């Protein structure tokens, strides 16, 4: 490709609304352009990178015998009503009507459609397993799209679905996909790790997320500092703490705490640490109010709390709802003297509290010197807290660290959730009918490119790894009006093309500085500069990632390029 013919428009200045490095550089390097909130156009160089990732995904998916299909984006409401998700999915599901006033939605995911296809054809255990995937556009009407391709409303996803006669067969495909995902993200040059994950609203049992490690990530991951354990903090279990040695009981007292309502304020005011305070949080669940108790220096894990309560809807109570339960304004809730009916959930961490502080359920009053059993019974406790730095690893007991990650892939064992709802059944060798066992597997294609940029950039721009780069090598022709230089550059260009390489020839009539700045910004891995040395048969070569320059004869330029691309 000749730069003079390429539709590529780089920006000197960063658009003001870009926040993340990857978002800024994708806009500045002309890979994408925003159309509206959460909607992006992929421009030629951006699409090239997308296509490179897609090609890797296809190769690895085909290698594990998954077959590619393409399913409609617009899907009939009936199918979603049949699975029950028409009502459950909420506002992320963009609903629309056709000219006959029939209801449709834009597919945020394709379990319903794929299950409908498979149930229509597959009758016998002999026809299973079936493993289909597609690479296509999804639409989710996100509450708050942000960070460019990292969280957009319309996005490209590889989604795969497998159908099995039993759990063992599903497990084989799950493991094969797990392996394929590892190879895909390795080939993309990413620093990532698979982590145990929550199954979320899609349902199912086992689940792993593939997380690219990056400070900009929206997910927090608990990683063991000693073993290979890694889990989304939403899921990572927190064990029952060791019992503390008994302290001398203090008297129960009500003390004024004027203007102090947060755990930190109250603890500081009373000269204690947050770990000596019992935090009492009021939630509203679908079955009524929930009072959650936890040690003051910890946070409630709402995912765990929901699971413990067996409910799908949970939110913080409003000020009025809090007042109804505690009889006091927000900030003075405690476990003693609550009124009305509510469900109590206590975290394991409260068991070790002695002589602790809690709200008195009275305006600007707290209780001190509270002790379990003397002042109130110790409730049954469960694990409803968020794991924190230095908590013990659930596998080996060594401390965990909390790291940030970008979720680029997710594998689920779905079980029979959709096959039951949509009646996708097969007949076994005994003539008995069973719902198919399903798995589903996703990769965010655009997000993978964005994550790649998060991990590979410097102050001047993107530093693409070869497999994801829009072009693998760039020839910078310093002066296109110089016949010698032009001839040399053209010769190398044609030679590299004959090698089947993605090569970009910067033949623009621009000053060298402009070309160098653009080259760094768009991040092509190998650069060949044809300049002053051309008259002596020499060119200058360098790698974007380290910028070390070497002068090589034109005759060995192609060979050197091939060698550098492998390094």
* Residue ranges in contact with RNA by CB under 7 A: 10-17, 19, 28, 34, 36-38, 92, 108-109, 138, 140, 142-147, 157, 159, 198, 200-202, 218, 302, 314-316, 409-410, 412, 442-444, 460, 478-479, 481, 509, 511-514, 516-521, 529-533, 540, 547, 549
Q: Are 401 and 395 in contact (CB under 8 A)?
A: no
- Write down the least CB distance from residue 519 to RNA, Å: 7
Instruction: State how far the Cα of 67 lies from the Cα of 58, in Å rounded to an integer.
Output: 9
Q: Are 386 and 233 in contact (CB under 8 A)?
A: yes
- Residue closer to RNA by CB (options 339, 511) is 511
Per-residue tokens: 11: 């920006």
- Write down the least CB distance from residue 485 to RNA, Å: 8
- Write down the least CB distance from residue 104 to RNA, Å: 19
- Write down the least CB distance from residue 58 to RNA, Å: 16
- Write down the least CB distance from residue 515 to RNA, Å: 8
- Residue closer to RNA by CB (options 125, 147) is 147
- Residue closer to RNA by CB (options 276, 523) is 523
88 sits in the region (left: phi over 0; alpha: psi -120 to 50; else beta) called alpha
- Write down the least CB distance from residue 26 to RNA, Å: 14
DSSP secondary structure letter of residue 348: G
Q: Is 246 exposed, middle or buried (0-12, 13-18, 19+ CB in 10 A)?
A: exposed
Q: Is the peptide bond before 129 cis (omega within 30 degrees of 0)?
A: yes
- Write down the least CB distance from residue 286 to RNA, Å: 12
Q: Which of 116, 72, 184, 120 is nearest to 441 (CA)?
A: 184
Q: Are 162 and 438 in contact (CB under 8 A)?
A: yes
- Write down the least CB distance from residue 312 to RNA, Å: 8
Q: Are 530 and 489 in contact (CB under 8 A)?
A: yes
Q: Are 61 and 89 in contact (CB under 8 A)?
A: no
Q: Are 435 and 424 in contact (CB under 8 A)?
A: yes
- Residue closer to RNA by CB (options 430, 481) is 481
Q: Is 69 exposed, middle or buried (0-12, 13-18, 19+ CB in 10 A)?
A: middle
- Residue closer to RNA by CB (options 225, 551) is 551
- Residue closer to RNA by CB (options 213, 489) is 489
- Residue closer to RNA by CB (options 136, 272) is 136
As a residue count, the chain comes to 567
- Residue closer to RNA by CB (options 85, 366) is 85
């Amino acid at each position: 490709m000749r730069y003079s013919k390429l539709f590529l428009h780089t920006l000197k200045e960063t658009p003001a609304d870009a926040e993340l490095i990857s978002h800024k550089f994708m806009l500045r390097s002309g890979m994408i352009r925003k159309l509206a909130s959460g909607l992006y156009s992929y421009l030629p160089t951006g699409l090239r990178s997308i296509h490179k990732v897609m090609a890797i995904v296809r190769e690895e998916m085909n290698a594990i015998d998954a077959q590619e299909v393409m399913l409609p984006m617009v899907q009939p409401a009936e199918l979603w009503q049949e699975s029950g998700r028409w009502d459950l999915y909420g506002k992320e599901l963009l609903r629309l009507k056709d000219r006959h006033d029939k209801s449709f939605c834009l597919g945020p995911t394709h379990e319903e459609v794929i299950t409908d296809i498979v149930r229509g054809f597959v009758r016998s255990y002999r026809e299973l397993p079936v493993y289909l995937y597609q690479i296509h556009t999804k639409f989710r009407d996100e509450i708050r799209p942000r960070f460019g391709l990292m969280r957009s409303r319309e996005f490209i996803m590889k989604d795969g679905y497998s159908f099995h006669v039993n759990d063992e067969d599903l497990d084989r495909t799950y493991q094969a996909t797990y392996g394929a995902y590892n190879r895909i993200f390795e080939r993309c040059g990413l620093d990532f790790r698979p982590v145990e994950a929550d199954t979320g609203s899609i349902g199912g049992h086992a689940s792993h997320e593939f997380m690219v490690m990056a400070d900009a990530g929206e997910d927090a991951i608990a990683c063991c500092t000693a073993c290979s354990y890694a889990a989304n903090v939403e899921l990572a279990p927190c064990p029952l703490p060791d019992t503390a040695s008994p302290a001398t009981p203090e008297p129960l007292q009500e003390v004024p705490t004027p203007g102090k309502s947060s755990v930190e304020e109250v603890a500081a005011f009373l000269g204690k640490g947050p770990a000596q305070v019992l935090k009492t949080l009021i939630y509203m669940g679908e079955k009524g109010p929930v009072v959650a108790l936890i040690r003051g220096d910890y946070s409630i894990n709402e995912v765990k709390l929901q699971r413990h309560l067996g409910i799908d809807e949970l939110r913080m109570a409003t000020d009025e709802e809090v007042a109804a339960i505690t009889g006091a304004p927000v900030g003075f809730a405690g476990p003693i003297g609550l009124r009305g009916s509510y469900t109590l959930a206590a975290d394991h961490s409260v068991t070790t509290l002695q002589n602790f502080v809690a709200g008195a359920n009275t305006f600007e009053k707290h209780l001190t010197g509270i002790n379990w059993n003397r002042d109130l019974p110790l409730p049954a406790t469960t694990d409803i807290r968020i794991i924190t730095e230095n908590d013990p690893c659930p596998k080996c007991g060594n401390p965990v660290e909390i790291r940030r990650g970008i979720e680029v892939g997710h594998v689920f064992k779905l079980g029979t959730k959709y096959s039951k709802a949509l009646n996708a059944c097969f007949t076994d060798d005994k003539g008995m009918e069973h719902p198919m066992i399903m798995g589903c597997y996703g990769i965010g294609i655009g997000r993978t490119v964005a994550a790649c940029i998060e991990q590979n950039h410097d102050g001047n721009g993107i530093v693409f790894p070869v497999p994801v780069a829009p072009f693998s090598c760039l020839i910078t022709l310093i002066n296109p009006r110089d016949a010698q230089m032009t001839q040399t550059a053209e010769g190398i260009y044609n030679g590299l093309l004959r090698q089947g390489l993605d090569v970009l020839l910067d033949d623009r009539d621009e000053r060298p500085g402009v070309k160098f700045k653009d080259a760094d910004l768009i991040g092509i891995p190998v650069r060949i500069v044809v300049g002053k040395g051309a008259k002596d048969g020499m060119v200058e070569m360098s790698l974007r990632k380290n910028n070390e320059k070497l002068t090589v004869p034109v005759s060995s330029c192609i060979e050197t390029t091939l060698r550098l691309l492998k390094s």
